[in-house]
Amino acid sequence: MLRHVVLANFKAEVGQCERDEFAKKAKETLAQVPGTKNIIMGQASEVQGKTHYSVALFIDFENEAAMKKYFEHPVHKAVAAQMPSLLSEFLVSNYLY
């Protein structure tokens, strides 16, 4: 299994309603891509203090082939194209587990 992780901060001018709407639509839309599993979006917890990134997206894939297809899928590309106008910064990483 592989886990795709996106950590991000929204731009200051992006209001909470717009943030919530983007998160909801992104999760629903990305779930349409074949091979995606366990799509989780959440806000950072400050249990251990202030965090650098305020939101996170996690998506699991059965194998590398499924992940590669996801990256090339038009739905993923459409969601990714929205990120620069909404996010001030983000970090993307992928992990085997």
pLDDT tens string 67-91 = 999 999 999 999 999 999 999 999 9
pTM, full prediction: 0.90
For 29-72, write each residue's pLDDT tens digit: 999 999 999 999 999 988 888 889 999 999 999 999 999 999 99
CATH number attached to the domain at 2-92: 3.30.70.100
Q: How far apart are CA 87 and CA 74, in angstroms?
A: 20
SS3 assignment, position 14: coil
The domain limits of the chain are 2-92
